[in-house]
Amino acid sequence: MTSQWAQLPLPNATWHHEPDGASFDAESGELTIPAPGKTDWNVDAMTDDHVDSAPALLAAVDGDFSLSAQVTVDFRDTYDAGVLCIRQSSMSWAKLCFEFTPQGAPMIVSVVTNGHSDDANSAPIDDNVVRLRVVRLGAAYAFHYSRDGEYWHFVRQFRMRDDCDARIGFLAQSPVGDGSSAVFSDIRHSTIVPNDLRHGE
pLDDT digits (tens, 9 = 90+) for 49-85: 999 999 999 999 989 999 999 999 999 999 999 999 9
Q: How far apart are CA 157 and CA 188, in angstroms?
A: 20
Beta sheet of 167-173, edge-to-edge order: 14-16, 56-60, 167-173, 81-89, 92-100, 106-114, 120-124
19 pLDDT above the threshold of 60:
yes
Q: Which residues pair with 51 in a beta bridge?
A: 42
The per-residue pLDDT for 1 is 43
The per-residue pLDDT for 172 is 98
111 pLDDT above the threshold of 80:
yes
First to last CA, the chain: 40
Q: Domain 4-190 classified CATH 2.60.120.200?
A: yes
The per-residue pLDDT for 199 is 85
> How many beta carbons lie within 10 A of that of residue 111, not counting itself?
22
**Closest-CA residue to 133 (of 163, 108, 161):** 108
Is 35:54 a contact under the CB 8 Å cutoff? Answer: yes
0.75 surpassed by pTM? yes
Q: How far apart are CA 126 and CA 80, in angstroms?
A: 15
Q: Rounded to the nearest 5°, which phi and psi values hold at 57?
A: -105, 115
**What stretch of H or E contains 143?**
strand 140-146
Helix, strand, or coil (residue 5):
helix
